[in-house]
Amino acid sequence: MSVSSPFWRQSPPSLNPDFLRQGRQRQASLTKPAGSLGRLEQLAITLSAQQQRPRPAVDRVRIVVFAADHGVCAEGVSAFPQEVTGQMIANFVNGGAAISVLARHLGAELEVVNLGTAHPLPARDGVVMAEIAPGTANLATAAAMSEEQLQAALSAGRDAVQRAAGAELFIGGEMGIGNTTAAAAVACALLDLAPEVLAGPGTGLDADGLRHKVAVLHRALQRHRDTVAEADQPLPVLASLGGFEVAALAGAFLAAAQTRIPVLVDGFIASVAALAATRLQPGLAEWLHFAHQSAEPGHARVLAALDADPLLRLNMRLGEGSGAAAAVPLLRQACALHNQMASFQDAGISKGQ
């Protein structure tokens, strides 16, 4: 692989088998029947191999919310108006959004990256400005973004990971009114599934609204049918049908894995970004933990395509990284058990068969 190839063309490292073996041995030595801590055991073993240390930790959690607007909002595909994207950026940094509260509660670092909003925003402390354009073009009638814009969005994700040096876990959140439409479009193209299967109410469309969203998606897939026919080409699919924040998430996930930072994937939109990124680099899959299954109906299909069994099913459907934040305590508990339990030998307890 040439050193000058873009970062998304580089495969993440594989997990170190020595740490996997040591982790399994340690779990077998702890004072409990083998396997009795269920998935918490494998979580700790995987984190140990990802972090390349015998005692894994997720004390330093970095949450980055990527925000961007979507031209497809012109089609009336969301229950909320487009200006909410920018208004929520202010809410994130003012500390009032769900992810702001969860980040504070976890002692996690929260960064907000503005990739481009349709309504001008006053400059605000605490928002990283990485504006690509005032939102994407309307994916129902044109390519959502140019190749250059796609590369800028992927790179914005990578840049956010570079600012996260030392993080023990990366969570990517998103904010963008209309982005369940863009994510559904990308997933339809990559999975060759119909909009009826992958579109959902998002922020709260009623049955008529959902029928309209499905019709818009059919039009978009028809408009981009030549791209869609090459579903093994995730970059053209992202450019035609995606969003800046979806592409930035894909870039961030790849960059996190390349720098050996484990990723905890949030809901529907983040999972579609993970799907696109694993199509680019299948080795990414070893670095992903899936936090929850969102109430957005298409999420189950996307998770199945990723062969992912999420940790939680809480009927959450917010995005922002909120479902991933909700799962962080489980990862912390898995590490604490792995690191602090006594062994049979140390505690003088007889082993079973």
Ligand X SMILES: O=C(O)c1cccnc1
Which residues are the active-site residues? 320
| For ligand RBZ, the closer CB: 51 or 180 | 180
Residue 40 or 190 with smaller CB distance to ligand X: 190
Choose the one of ligand X, ligand RBZ, none that binds residue 178, judging by a C-beta under 5 to 8 angstroms depending on kind.
Answer: ligand RBZ
Q: Which is nearer to ligand RBZ, 270 or 311 (CB)?
A: 270
Q: Which of 47-55, 104-112, 247-255, 313-321 is the region at the interface with ligand RBZ (rule: CB under 6 A)?
A: 313-321
Residue 344 partner contact from ligand RBZ, ligand X, none using kind-dependent CB cut-offs of 5 to 8 Å: none
State the nearest-atom distance from the C-beta of 201 to ligand RBZ, in Å: 7
Enumerate binding residues for ligand X (CB under 6 A): 180, 202-203, 266-269, 294, 296, 299, 317-319
| Shortest Cβ 252–ligand RBZ spacing (Å) | 15
Question: Min. distance of Cβ 266 from ligand X in angstroms?
Answer: 6
CB 73 → ligand RBZ: shortest distance, Å? 8
Choose between 199 and 261: whose C-beta lies nearer to ligand X. Answer: 199
* Nearest residue to 186 (alpha-carbon basis) of 259, 137, 239, 146: 239
Comparison of 202 and 236: residue with beta carbon closer to ligand X = 202
Three-state SS string across the chain, please? CCCCCCHHHCCCCCCCHHHHHHHHHHHHHECCCCCCCCHHHHHHHHHHHHHCCCCCCCCCEEEEEEECCCHHHHHCCCCCCCCHHHHHHHHHHHCCCHHHHHHHHHCCEEEEEECCCCCCCCCCCCEEECCCCCCCCCCCCCCCCCHHHHHHHHHHHHHHHHCCCCCCEEEEEEECCCHHHHHHHHHHHHHCCCHHHHCCCCCCCCHHHHHHHHHHHHHHHHHCHHHHCCCCCHHHHHHHHCCHHHHHHHHHHHHHHHCCCCEEECCHHHHHHHHHHHHHCHHHHHHEEECECCCCCHHHHHHHHCCCCCCECCCCCCCCCHHHHHHHHHHHHHHHHHHHCCEHHHHCCCCCC
Subset of residues 161 to 200 that bind ligand RBZ, contact rule: CB under 6 A: 174-181
Q: For ligand X, which is the closer residue by CB, 135 or 267?
A: 267
Q: Which does 175 bind (CB under 5 to 8 A by kind): ligand X, ligand RBZ, none?
A: ligand RBZ
Interface map 60-79 toward ligand RBZ (x if CB under 6 A) = ------------------xx
Residues within window 79-118 making contact with ligand RBZ, judged by CB under 6 A: 79-80, 84, 88
Least Å distance, CB 100 to ligand RBZ, is 11
Q: Which of 83, 94, 341, 302 lies closest to 183 in space, CA to CA?
A: 302
Which of ligand X, ligand RBZ, none interacts with 317 (beta carbon under 5 to 8 A by kind)? ligand X
Query: Of ligand X, ligand RBZ, none, which one does residue 41 interact with (CB within 5 to 8 Å by kind)?
Result: none
Q: Quick one: CA dihedral 70, 242, 198, 91, positive or negative?
A: negative
Q: Which residues bind ligand RBZ (CB under 6 A)?
A: 78-80, 84, 88, 174-181, 202-203, 318-320
